[in-house]
Amino acid sequence: MWLLPRAVWRAAAVLLCLAAFAAPDEGDPPAEAGARAAKRAAEMPRVATSADGFVEIMAPDVPGDAVGFRLPLLRFTTQLIGDIEHAYGLAMPRMESPGLVVHALDGQTNDVRVIARVGRRDGRLVTRIYLPSPGFSSIEALQLEIVQAYLRAWIDRNRDDAQVPAAEPPDWLAFGVLRARTADGAHDDIRFVLEQWSEHKLPPFPKFCLELKIATMQDAVYAGYLVAWMKERKLLRSALEGLTTGRAWSQAELLADLTGEKGEEEQRQAFNARLDRLSRAVLSPGRASEWDIKNFRRQLRLDVRPVEGEPEDVATQNCSFRRAIKLLADRPAAVRAAAFVKMRELPLYAVRRGQQMAATSEAYSEFLVMLSRGASADRLNELLDKAEYQLARLIGGRDENGQSGNTTLSAPQEDNAIK
């Protein structure tokens, strides 16, 4: 009898529990006993399992709701896991036991935490997530715990040697995997990093990667940027496979793989080169984001460099377009040469970013063409007024897709306009 399969014993135990709950108390009227038994049976946790058996959701019935939390939580969890697997080319090996069990409790408490506990079941790693008040738990916290549970289980289930314990992934990795799983999420993090980089607020590389503290939102964004870079270089799977052998995570190896360089200075150059390339990339085709507008405005200055025929001690001047009009009288050849270079560069920052951005770029390009030809100051000021009007519309208005610009910005005026 003791050789019966474990599943048979588990089913028998459940039936015995149900029978105990259904048994009427002695002396109770039949109607009250039946109602009490039905209530007790409804309060018992029931299980919903994903098709591959990796996820189990345990929750009691909700009064007046035949579905309760089981199926919505199951759909939510399996959808997120499916997104992770699709985004990063991962697949969870099938096992008899689940790797993630979510316990949705009765909600009769003010405790809204998402509580995770890691242990073993049937010799395999399993994460249990407890939701004391599932209707009020943080969606973001639940998503993070699901991703962390998935990564742990993937590493554990892909071990070649069951006797060798797997190494732990760094804490920041789950944040990054969660944030970079979609193009929109990755682009938001890229824009934030570009904004800090352009304003010289970004930690220098490799410090950027070595001192991540997930307690802050800023570092979670940095983690998203790093994982998006890993995704681009197809490094996530190989990094996780390294942990299956029990070898600890090496941030130094990651930096070398990301940049393709071993020296710190070469890595820094590769880091900055990637940001420079991303600053010109079209992250949201068809519309101008706040970052696109700010980046476009930063280009509205002219580098007037010494040209042949000027005195040897003449210096390079970085000035606004309005100032360049005045400078044209003193250094015509240098200003015209700088305008010719700028009129070829500027449209690159407006390509595929919506009609209003295109109209703004065209207005500035018309001004630069005439500046490169040495037009009169009156004509140039008229064209620049027109271009600045277009920029003001772009900043304060909406493009053809209903996306608004940053209404806190003002149109550039003289040398103080663009910093």
Model pLDDT for residues 35-66, shown as the tens digit of each residue:
554 555 455 567 888 888 899 999 887 665 55
Burial status of residue 242 (CB atoms within 10 A of its CB: 0-12, 13-18, 19 or more) = middle
Residue with tokens 């405790």: 111
Compute the distance between CA of residue 340 and CA of residue 361 in angstroms, rounded to an integer.
Answer: 15
State the CB neighbour count (10 A cutoff) for residue 225: 25
Highest mean pLDDT among 125-129, 156-160, 403-407 belongs to 125-129
Q: Is 267 helix (H, G, I), strand (E, B) or coil?
A: helix
Question: Which residues neighbour 263 within 8 Å (Cβ) at sequence distance 6 or greater?
Answer: none
Model pLDDT for residues 70-87, shown as the tens digit of each residue:
888 999 999 999 999 999
Whether residue 409 has pLDDT greater than 60: no
The pLDDT value given to residue 195: 84
**Per-chain mean pLDDT for the chain:** 80
The pLDDT value given to residue 311: 81
Predicted TM-score (pTM) of this structure: 0.66
